[in-house]
Amino acid sequence: MARSCRSLWAVAVVFLLVPVGSSAQLTYSRGQSVSPAFEGWWQNDDGTYTLFFGYMNDNWDEEIDVPIGPENNIVPGGPDRGQPTHFLPRRNMFLFEVRVPRDFGDQEVVWTLTTHGRTQRAYGSLRTDYLVDKQVIATEVGANRGGVSQDWQWNEPPTVRLGVDQPRRVRVGEPLTLVAWASDDDGIPSSTKAGVTLRPSARRTRTDSTTGRVADRDGVIPQGARHPAYTPPRQIVPGNPNGLRLSWFVYRGRAEATFDPVQMKVWQDTRPYANSPWAPPFQIPPVPPDGKWETQVTFDEPGIYQLRALASDGALFTSEDLTVTVTP
């Protein structure tokens, strides 16, 4: 009888913990596939069209390499149309562009990607429901916490310029200094709203280690105030604070690289304290003097790498690539 009561109690606990009609969403650190994604398109001033692509890596930790070829190709005009071969974790949006002619009509650009034995495709077309503009892109990447602003139609992406000769050749373990200049002169979106992604407040400056509540400048914890990391998000898309930032990452290459200082993540890592603009709490670091970012990178394995410097204002972004040949 006691055993039956314990069994019934265990079943009751299960029903209390799992709401009726709900389904649990599992997440994985590795072993899952990468899904290519067609983000949308817009028309250029010369009448041609730009198609935007990204991807979703279902893993939180695993970075996957797929060289250009049968398992990573784009048609027509491929197999190489500028797509990545090194896939960072989770969602990476508007990562590369494919330009098509003005008479493209109802044709499609198809990106085929095979990872962990699973083949998936993204179909890029000029369907009207995929038409995007600057506002749509800003909202999708979570600018101003996914808000809407008419000013963003006049936003221009940051400019970025590399101070490194191309191509570069280094040995395994030999540090390479990377220099990049970035600026965002139009002031859109306003960087005055840059800061924590959830419930920002200028008064919150210190966290109580016991309660997780945030104290004001006088050390007083306002009633009901909690640290953004402990606050559920209120927006549909992960929030991304405004403000100029620049990060380097591996776009193509067989292995990871080590950057010093550690670069803020360019993929949507929403876990608290994840060194990601989408992770609460996060503040955009100050722009370095003269807009000059200096970084060192070292490689553990030989090969040809394509590094990407990505500059963003929180809404739009610009990138420049550097090819590095690493010898034993």
In tens, the pLDDT along 203-236 reads: 334 444 444 444 454 545 456 555 555 555 555 6
User: Quick check: 146 and 133 in contact, CB under 8 A?
Assistant: no
pTM of the predicted model, to two decimals? 0.80
| pLDDT exceeds 70 at position 314 | yes
22 within a domain of the structure (yes/no): no
Instruction: Round to whole Å and give the CA distance between 305 and 325.
Output: 6
Average per-residue pLDDT for the chain: 84
H/E run at residue 14: helix 2-17
The domain tally of the chain equals 3
Does residue 217 share a domain with residue 187?
Answer: no
| pLDDT exceeds 80 at position 200 | no
In tens, the pLDDT along 247-275 reads: 999 999 988 899 999 999 999 999 999 99
Does residue 297 share a domain with residue 175?
Answer: yes
E-strand ranges in 189-302 read 206-207, 214-215, 245-252, 257-260, 292-299
Cα distances (angstroms) measured from residue 292 to each of 26, 76, 158, 163, 295: 41, 39, 13, 9, 10
Q: Using DSSP, state whether 216 is helix, strand or coil.
A: coil
Question: Could you tell me the pLDDT band of residue 165, with boundaries at 50, 70 and 90?
Answer: confident
Does residue 322 share a domain with residue 183?
Answer: yes
Question: Could you tell me the pLDDT band of residue 21, with boundaries at 50, 70 and 90?
Answer: very low
- Domain extent, residue 171, equals 157-196+241-327
Does residue 106 share a domain with residue 210?
Answer: no
Question: Could you tell me the pLDDT band of residue 99, with boundaries at 50, 70 and 90?
Answer: very high
190 within a domain of the structure (yes/no): yes
Does residue 80 share a domain with residue 220?
Answer: no
307 within a domain of the structure (yes/no): yes
**126 or 14, which is more confident:** 126
